[in-house]
Amino acid sequence: MLQHLPCRDRVPIDAPLKLHPLPDSTQWSGAIAYLDRDGVLNIGSENYINSPSEVTLLPNAAKSVARLRRFGLRIAVVTNQSPIGRGLWNSENLALIHDQIQKLLLIEDKDAILDLILHSPYTPSQNAWARKPNPGMLEAARQLINHAESTKEWSELSMRFAGEWGERPSESDSVMVGDRISDMTAANAFGVRSLLCPAELGLSAVINDIVPTDIQ
């Protein structure tokens, strides 16, 4: 069994996930947009984002998230958050930061819903499978979203990682967006297309490489 599992805010990793309908009755395409957080959705900092008051969205981040969902993609944020493992602050503080990010996104666009947020609380020295550049968070996101979209009971979910997980769904229409090489390495390990964005612009810089320009 994999040690150092990915984490969700306030609930166990395998807790039931309720997905909001996609905009305009759009059907899920089966594709997921795996998004890093800092430098993709919000302005990052070398000293971390330490409180909700420090959250500032990047330009057009909300519009870009909404465009992805209107195109039929689910949104999974996958973010390394070693301040928890370093003892700088706790997981509830991180959850409050994520609450603020979601709140600000929805203020700008009502369709900018983050379907799932996963984080890795581990330090680099732990070499956790759930910490990018390893692909554990992407693996977890795919299994959770697939199960939420299915008619199966949550008690039937049996999450698998690394070599324990065979018969994987196709990621041919999915994408990973990040501002660091570790994001790209995780995407490559997972087998999903990757797009490196400039940290000062974030997701909006690459959105036209994912979604046709006639979908706004």
Enumerate the active-site residues. 36, 38
* Distance set, CA 79 to CA 24, 31, 131, 141, 203 (Å): 29, 19, 8, 12, 14
Give 132's contacts (C-beta < 8 A, 6+ positions apart). 36, 78, 80, 120, 178, 180, 182, 183, 185, 186
Distance in angstroms (rounded) separating the CA atoms of residues 71 and 215: 7
On whether the CB atoms of residues 43 and 58 are closer than 8 A, the answer is yes
Nearest Cα residue to 6 out of 118, 91, 160, 145: 118
Distance in angstroms (rounded) separating the CA atoms of residues 105 and 41: 9
* Distance set, CA 164 to CA 2, 10, 139, 168 (Å): 9, 26, 11, 11
Beta partners for 57?
Answer: 42
Give 52's contacts (C-beta < 8 A, 6+ positions apart). 96, 97, 99, 100
Read off the tokens for 8: 């969700």
At residue 18, what is the residue type?
K
